[in-house]
Amino acid sequence: MRTLKVEKQTFSLKEPFRITGYTMTDWDVVLVRIAENGHQGFGEASGIYYFDETAESMMAQIESVKHELERGATRRELLELLPRGGARNAVDCALWDLESKLVNKSIWELTGIPPKPVDSVLTVGIADKNSMARQAMLIESDRIKVKLDDDQPLEKMRAIRAARPDVKLLVDVNQGWDFSMLCELSPEFAKLKIDMIEQPLKRGEDDALEGYESPVPLCADESCLDTSELDSMVGKYDIVNIKLDKTGGLTEALDLANQAHRRSLKLMVGNMGGTSLAMAPGFVVAQLCDFVDLDGALFLSEDREQSLEFKFGTVFGLPTGLWGNVG
């Protein structure tokens, strides 16, 4: 017999983290446990904050399909039971973990994906240009992602590049610019050898990019949630950012990765925040990606006891006890 339990948990950040339109001091997550035949599968989600998903709303969604899940609904059936978003993500990842334990196979055996360490960016949040340059100086990695809005973006990137001439730099605007600002800034960012501009425009304003040849590769985040939106990205973006909370789980995320590759789009894997339990499925997707952003758990005052193997921006493996990783 299968049983499901869901609970809200709150994790404090080491310091406030600012992106376009939001300042975060802690992360509420939903933890799902699915038990069957003496084994437990675990999944975690933070939800899509810009769609106003909360721990409470996600818990209500999960409880609404508890009966079907406890009767044995599969991951593919889950795609019909719940819409994309954090609730489905937490359940889907718990089902992957449970399946791995029930059949005694690792996630790598189940997916056919060979694992290797991956190099993640480490992130600089929005502040004044001098503070951001100091943050960048302290990062022990050769890959840095910088959060920007419409307040002095070029001045901030010049300060950061001067402080760190040695690193790959990615920029994440989180829908904070308009098209004219993108056209003005992208040539200057190219001079600074920026490797990517992520989500410069608001979701739904992507048609402005049709025919635009950006001197810096553009990445879709908020504009591409899952496979249903992928075709509309072709010809506008070079890269798609896969996040498990957007796709509603690892199952859809792997489908999105495969379909993006067939359309010759590059891939990034990102996160909405959370503990190592939330970053873990991203590590699986990261094996298929050109860019990796899995540093969410590093912002926490305290991570879960079983955490990702993470050092100087390199992620080496999964948390012990998850998806066949026995340590």
Is there a single domain that holds both residue 164 and residue 250? yes
Is residue 240 a contact partner of residue 267, using CB atoms and an 8 Å limit?
yes
pLDDT of residue 234: 97
Give residue 324's pLDDT: 84
Q: Final residue of a domain: which of 104, 130, 155?
A: 104
Q: Using an 8 Å Cβ cutoff, are 176 and 150 in contact? A: yes
Average pLDDT in the 6-23 region? 95
Q: Each residue of 30-85: pLDDT tens digit?
A: 999 999 999 999 999 999 999 999 999 999 999 999 999 999 999 999 999 999 99
91 and 146 assigned to the same domain = no
Same domain (yes/no): 144, 277: yes
At residue 198, the pLDDT reads 98
- pLDDT given at position 327: 64
**pLDDT for res 1:** 87
pLDDT, residue 267, reads: 98
At position 74, the amino acid (one-letter code) is: T
> To the nearest whole number, what is the mean pLDDT of the chain?
97
Domains contained in the chain, number: 2
**Full domain range(s) for residue 58:** 2-104
Residue 325, domain member (yes or no): no
Q: Answer yes or no: is pLDDT of 277 > 90.
A: yes
Examine the pLDDT at 312 and tell me if it is beyond 90. no
pLDDT value of position 242: 98
**Residues 182 and 312 occupy one common structural domain:** yes
Whether 322 is in a domain gets the answer no
Q: What is the DSSP string of 49-101?
A: GGGT--HHHHHHHHHHTHHHHHTT--HHHHHHHS-SSHHHHHHHHHHHHHHHH
Is beta strand 22-36 parallel, antiparallel or unpaired with respect to 2-19? antiparallel
- pLDDT in the model for residue 272: 96
- What mean pLDDT is predicted for residues 238-261? 98
Residue 143 domain flag: yes
In a domain? residue 83: yes
User: 96 and 130 share a domain?
Assistant: no
pLDDT tens string 252-263: 999 999 999 999
* Mean local confidence (pLDDT), 9-21: 95
CA–CA separation, 271 and 284 (whole Å): 13
pLDDT of res. 310: 86
Length of the chain: 327
Asked whether residue 126 falls in the same domain as residue 230, the answer is yes
The whole model's pTM is what? 0.96
Amino acid 260: pLDDT = 98
Residue 10 has pLDDT above 70, yes or no: yes
Catalytic residues: 147, 243
pLDDT band at 326 (very low <50, low <70, confident <90, very high): confident
My answer on whether 15 and 161 are in the same domain is no
**Once rounded to an integer, what is the mean pLDDT over residues 293-310?**
94
pLDDT in the model for residue 309: 86
Does 50 map to a domain? yes
